[in-house]
Amino acid sequence: MTPTAAWTELQTRLAEINTISQIASNLSWDQQVMMPTGGGADRGKQLSMLSGMSHARWNEPGLAEALDALSGNEASDLQRAAVRNTKRQHKRSTAMPKELVQAMSEARSAAFPAWAAAKESQDYPGFVPHLEKLVALTREEVAVLQEPGQDPYDVLLEPYDPGSTSASLDPMFERLGTELSSFLQAIQGKPAPGERPKGPFAIAPQQALHESLVPALGYDMERGRLDESEHPFTIGMGYGDTRITTHYYENDLLPGLGGTIHETGHGLYEQGLPKELRGTGAGQAAGMGLHESQSRFWENFIGRSRQFSEWLAPQINAHMGTSLTGPGLYAASNGVKPSLIRIFADEVTYNLHIVIRYQLERQLFSGQIEVSHLDQAWADAYEQKLGVRPAHVGEGVLQDVHWPQAYYGYFPSYTLGNLYASSLVKALEKARPQMWAEVQKGEFAGILSWLRENVHQKAHLMDAPDIVNAACGGQQDHVADFVDHIWARHGALYGVSR
Ligand SMILES: [Zn+2]
């Protein structure tokens, strides 16, 4: 096969796989937003059939032949990126023995209800055998995929954050943990800067508020939708169809707003991916960390800023009949309080939740810690880093679904998103000194077009660390950028300085 023919062949095959995945996304969106509960069993079969079809296509010899013929003979940056990305996924989809795939799938299915029950009854020992099994199977998967000399953890990291390694994350997360702990010490005992608006808040006006906010940020409603689901999410199901969901709370306005702005950030990224690259193997997002940088850019860096609060407060008042002021909303949005549950954590302590999980995962997969001791290690780490200790595993090691479903290597992307976003904001402030004045007026087009050009349009032509550094004009110290932001924003609100 000539390289030109191989490229055409590869494109045809990837486009098909892409279409299968879009159909699955469609069914999955429907399952979480529209489907009556009775549809569950058959929907499971439908999704499993599509996943089998996709797996079979990855395993067709023609795909491997095209990849081989192209590899080393790429004619452009696009082809090089597509081959690199596709090889990674091809290896994950084809290298695993069938028995191992089956065993993992069964272990996950068995673990899910057992996790829910153990969380409810606060019974860690009861869940340990499941977790041990999942970790053991994950170790087998790592052994299959691992390159000579590669750290086992890097194999886990790759599907979520291709291009990141534990060698780069270890010192970053260590330093971030120390810096944030000293920030917490500095504000210890200080009163919260503001009070959150008190409910109850009717859902219908909240909905109207959110529906006006999402397009105002630049999200294209002709190529997307906003719906409601139990857990907010974003899903792309074709070039012109990227959907987001949110969740409204009657007792508190802010989590719903934060969730909507977060998902809008994800949606803007998906909508900004270049049309001409779709299905090429390089047209997709460059990983979870970069995706999360886009959601957190809007949710935290823009959405919790003083200027955005000035712009948003009168709109909340108009819809909800409240009497919020810009400074009041700003202060209420930026309280910092160590707590046990990650998903309800503030912008500062959130990252300590992730540092703890990351360091425990590293210890788990390097054999320094046993699954049976993970609950204690977790509680000790929370006490040491956040000064709070879970009373039981339901608010401790069993709170998240990630480990009970064998998603190891996933957590770092949340904090990487915050770190990347802080460097992107710094670069944007330089490129666009008027940005904060624009935010205060509700003008987001200039900011969005900078993100489009420097992040979204790069799709997966480079790995995330390279995209962010290129956007920022060279290698960045993300931890320093993030910590500077925390002191500038939260330090000022709490009246402390370094
Ligand atoms: Zn997200």
**pLDDT score for 95:** 94
In the reported structure, the alpha carbon of residue 109 is separated from the centroid of ligand 1 by a whole-number distance in angstroms of: 24
In the reported structure, the alpha carbon of residue 244 is separated from the centroid of ligand 1 by a whole-number distance in angstroms of: 11
**pLDDT score for 44:** 87
Which residues touch 95 (CB under 8 Å, ≥6 apart)? 144, 145
* pLDDT tens digits, 418-448: 999 999 999 999 999 999 999 999 999 999 9
Percent of the chain with pLDDT over 90: 95
CB 201 within 8 A of CB 250: yes
**pLDDT score for 171:** 98
pLDDT averaged over the chain?
96
**pLDDT score for 253:** 96
Closest Cα partner for 425 from 474, 463, 466, 482?
A: 482
Active site residue 263: yes
Closest Cα partner for 235 from 33, 410, 68, 14?
A: 33
In the reported structure, the alpha carbon of residue 18 is separated from the centroid of ligand 1 by a whole-number distance in angstroms of: 22
In the reported structure, the alpha carbon of residue 264 is separated from the centroid of ligand 1 by a whole-number distance in angstroms of: 10
Closest Cα partner for 471 from 290, 344, 307?
A: 290
Token representation of residue 390: 């879970």
Listed by start position, the domains of the chain span: 1-95, 146-498
Over range 349-361, report the average pLDDT. 98
**pLDDT greater than 90 at residue 279:** no
pTM attached to this predicted model: 0.96
Mean pLDDT lowest among 5-14, 31-40, 239-248: 31-40
**pLDDT score for 98:** 87
* pLDDT tens digits, 151-191: 999 999 999 999 999 999 999 999 999 999 999 999 999 99
In the reported structure, the alpha carbon of residue 417 is separated from the centroid of ligand 1 by a whole-number distance in angstroms of: 9
Distance from C-alpha of 13 to C-alpha of 20, rounded to nearest angstrom: 11
CB 459 within 8 A of CB 290: no
* pLDDT tens digits, 441-491: 999 999 999 999 999 999 999 999 999 999 999 999 999 999 999 999 999
Give, in degrees to the nearest 5, the angle at Cα 29 between 238 and 54.
Answer: 60
Task: Considering the candidates 179, 263, 347, 361, report the single residue annotated as catalytic.
Answer: 263
**pLDDT greater than 90 at residue 317:** yes
Tracing tokens 């719903």 back to the chain, one arrives at 256
**pLDDT greater than 90 at residue 389:** yes
**pLDDT greater than 90 at residue 352:** yes
In the reported structure, the alpha carbon of residue 456 is separated from the centroid of ligand 1 by a whole-number distance in angstroms of: 16
**pLDDT greater than 90 at residue 40:** no
Q: Which CATH code for domain 146-498?
A: 1.10.1370.30
* pLDDT tens digits, 93-126: 999 998 999 899 899 989 999 999 999 999 999 9
In the reported structure, the alpha carbon of residue 339 is separated from the centroid of ligand 1 by a whole-number distance in angstroms of: 20
The secondary structure of 379-427 as a DSSP string is HHHHHHHHS---SSGGGTTTS-STGGGT-TT-THHHHHHHHHHHHHHHH
